[in-house]
Structure 1
Amino acid sequence: MLVLGLDLETSGLNPKTDKIIEIGVVLWCTASHRPIQVYSDLIAWPDLTVSEEVTQITGITTEDTAKFGVDIKLAL
């Protein structure tokens, strides 16, 4: 059986105002106990600030998203 795992990181803890800053996906084969495919991208948003609390939890900084992030449309 294949299982798809999805992980989203956000710029803060408020779902009304904060944005997705990372999308991670793994396709896992339960028979072989191994990943089949792995995908991860940081997301760039204009004028986004990642909260200090989120940086402490995830290690993702505002600078990371600006430098390495892609447009959300490309990531999806």
Structure 2
Amino acid sequence: MDENSRKKEGLKLLGAEAKYYDNYAPEVLETFENMHPDHDYWVRFNCPEFTTLCPITGQPDFAEIRIMYIPDKRMV
């Protein structure tokens, strides 16, 4: 098994057709082992062009989402 296959092992949602949720659904988050748990470092997700529909008007809403965290034993 090559290194990329090993890294993808256990991931089920990556590359699959998306199901969109309108409420909190923790089962959509996949985690994997932190290869360097003895070091503190930031993991950053940037989504500069987030688009959604307003639940009241149905009109498009636009935003920028930034998520930063310091992982422990597992990463998202």
Query: Do the two structures share a fold, i.e. TM-score over 0.5?
Result: no
TM-score (norm 1): 0.23
Q: Which has the higher helix share?
A: 1
TM-score, length of structure 2 as denominator length: 0.23
Larger-gyration structure (1/2) = 2
